[in-house]
Structure 1
Amino acid sequence: MPGGRAHRFILQRLRATRLAHHRTPADLGLAAETVRLRTAGGKSLFAWFVPGPGDGPAPAVLLMHGWGANAALMLPAVPPLHAAGFAVLLPDARCHGASDDEEFSSMPRFAEDIGTGLDWLRGQTAVDATRLAVVGHSVGAAAALLAATQREDIRAVVSLSAFAHPAELMRRWLHEQHLPWWPLGWAVAHHVQRVIGARFDDIAPLATLPRVRCPVLLVHGLHDETAPFADAQRLEAASAGRAPVLPVDAGHDLGESLGPHADAIVGFLRSALFPRAA
């Protein structure tokens, strides 16, 4: 295991860039509350809460951003969800946006932050706690799948640009940095798994998706160079066809490219949260 100096160097190289919010819900004409969520470890998460448009308790969707992003980058997904009757919570994961810092961030910690957000939603009178869904992007998508294996209250997951396996993602990142997998990459991956307290093979979407009990929709860009479209196809196969792929003419970030597919995503969420009586 690397010594203290090497450990700090690895964490620094892998640390996500912290981006400030470049817009707010008000910029999209949405009335939102700014809230702080307390994690089990005593850290504080920044979040926006957009109540549902009706008077009674509304079904709720938690939107989790990806690595190096923040809640503001998930805002384009809010208007169609809100118009369809959903309340929406947009948290910043630890080490991102306006949330508290930690020594490191990780996909399991993203999943913990999703759990913190869901626990907060369950305590809101404006939310129907029996109808909660998670939409996550990239690492946020992988974390949503991980969280769905750990909790019974997630009724649906929409995965945006999920990678199949974090070790493969790390290999691609090392290749971009012109660094060899062996022995350097292997040693870094081994150390990272010890630091985060989880084996990549256990938390990879390829491993978690087959254990998810709720409906899952895999939304993926056809031109994704970070997590190739083939990753989505492998995930669909791993789910034995239970998690269909919705292809999007876009790269990894999706962003505004989701607009033409908003009806399909909202329809999936409504069918999962409001199943027809048998």
Structure 2
Amino acid sequence: MIYIVIGIGIALLVFVSVLWKLAVKGQTPKRVINVQKPAQYYEEVSFQSGDAVVHGWYIPAKASDDEPKPLIIVVHGWASAKSRVMRYVDPLHQAGYSLLLFDARGHGDSEGIKAPTIKSFRDDVKAAVRYAQRREDVAPGRIGLLGHSFGGMGSLLASRDKIGIKALVTDSMPARFRTIMEALLREYKMPYAPLGPLLTRMMFMRAGISSTELREELSLPAALEHRKSPVLLVHSRKDRYIPSEELDYLMRGLKNRREDVECLYVDTDGHRSSEKDSRFWKNVLSFYQKYV
């Protein structure tokens, strides 16, 4: 009997050790090197977020006068970087906006942290807004956000507070942590059950996020319900990585549906191609023109 107990104990230790290693790996995004640079004139900028320095690019609007300009802050997704969201730059810049692109902590050129999560993305978005509001060439009352995927989650969570943004666009945004974990485990060719819930809990433990904080502060449906700015939610029906059912889920759960919550379904292949649908820019630019 004693050998059986010892064997079970060893097996459990091995299982937990493997799970912990997977959690660490899952919270250590591969660094994307920002080889590609903006075609427009830009400044290398940096600002503080928590205990780390965040690096970004500020692209001033084309207008030659000295009046402060409206700004759109573009937020990349998980395991991505500012150079990966430059596909949004030209249309926004042509429309007269200044732009701020930055690498979230643990990504691109920015300093790292132990365990990046949706909470760190949220706080990086808030830090970016504070930085933008300090710039004399930015109209502090005319700042918008555009977040892709995980960056959309961080942006929506940030907009739950009065941080001074006028409008938010999310593109291909997950709405449930289960969906994110399913996508991660598919990359490892591993099933969600029974690993997914355990890995999710371990990741939040590593990041110091409690169940109460997760439920009360990091809920996407709650953030959408209590948003402090208008939001346009965009998703492609052909997104196989983060399916458009995530947008369906959010809209079904929205109790207080007002005119300042808009959604747009497009039909482009992949997780990073919504902007290729002609309806994307027609709706996004109109939305920003209305609110920013």
Native 8 Å contact 1:146 1:208 kept in 2: yes
Native 8 Å contact 2:27 2:117 kept in 1: no
Correspondence for 1:276: none
Matches within 5 A, 1:118-197: 118-196=129-207, 197=209
Correspondence for 2:48: 38
Residue 45 of structure 2 aligns to which amino acid in structure 1?
A: V
- Per the TM alignment, residue 136 of structure 1 is displaced from its structure 2 partner at its CA by 0.3
Change (3 A) 1:25 1:176: closer
Correspondence for 2:289: 270
Task: Report whether the alignment pairs 1:230 with 2:242.
Answer: no
Provide the rounded CA distance (Å) in 1 between the counterparts of 2:29 and 2:278: 27
Correspondence for 2:95: 84
Provide the rounded CA distance (Å) in 2 between the counterparts of 1:223 and 1:188: 28
Native 8 Å contact 1:156 1:216 kept in 2: yes
Native 8 Å contact 1:157 1:214 kept in 2: yes
Post-superposition Cα deviations, 1:166-207, rounded to whole Å, max 9, x if no partner, equal 123213433553434444322211122223315454423223
Correspondence for 1:249: 267
Post-superposition Cα deviations, 1:15-70, rounded to whole Å, max 9, x if no partner, equal 211111131112xxx111111112232x1111000112222101111000001111
Q: 1:210 aligns with which of 196, 200, 225?
A: 225
CA RMSD, Structure 1 to Structure 2 (Å): 2.2
> After the TM superposition, which of the residue ranges 60-69 and 206-215 deviates more from structure 2?
206-215
What secondary structure is seen at the aligned counterpart in 2 of 1:154?
A: coil
Matches within 5 A, 1:107-126: 107-126=118-137
Provide the rounded CA distance (Å) in 2 between the counterparts of 1:38 and 1:20: 21
- Per the TM alignment, residue 112 of structure 1 is displaced from its structure 2 partner at its CA by 0.9
Post-superposition Cα deviations, 1:225-266, rounded to whole Å, max 9, x if no partner, equal 122111112222333544222122222112651565223211
Native 8 Å contact 1:64 1:140 kept in 2: yes
Native 8 Å contact 1:52 1:126 kept in 2: no
- Per the TM alignment, residue 8 of structure 1 is displaced from its structure 2 partner at its CA by 5.1
Provide the rounded CA distance (Å) in 2 between the counterparts of 1:207 and 1:78: 30
**TM-score (norm: length of structure 2):** 0.84
Change (3 A) 1:168 1:260: closer
- Per the TM alignment, residue 213 of structure 1 is displaced from its structure 2 partner at its CA by 2.5
Provide the rounded CA distance (Å) in 2 between the counterparts of 1:198 and 1:257: 39
Native 8 Å contact 2:157 2:223 kept in 1: yes
What secondary structure is seen at the aligned counterpart in 2 of 1:136?
A: strand
In structure 2, stretches of 5+ residues that fail to align are: 1-12
**TM-score (norm: length of structure 1):** 0.88
What secondary structure is seen at the aligned counterpart in 2 of 1:169?
A: helix
Residue 249 of structure 2 aligns to which amino acid in structure 1?
A: R
Change (3 A) 1:245 1:238: same
Aligned residues between the structures: 268
Task: Report whether the alignment pairs 1:24 with 2:37.
Answer: yes
Provide the rounded CA distance (Å) in 1 between the counterparts of 2:30 and 2:113: 13
> After the TM superposition, which of the residue ranges 82-91 and 9-18 deviates more from structure 2?
9-18
Provide the rounded CA distance (Å) in 2 between the counterparts of 1:170 and 1:16: 14
- Per the TM alignment, residue 150 of structure 1 is displaced from its structure 2 partner at its CA by 2.4
Correspondence for 1:94: 105
Residue 56 of structure 2 aligns to which amino acid in structure 1?
A: A
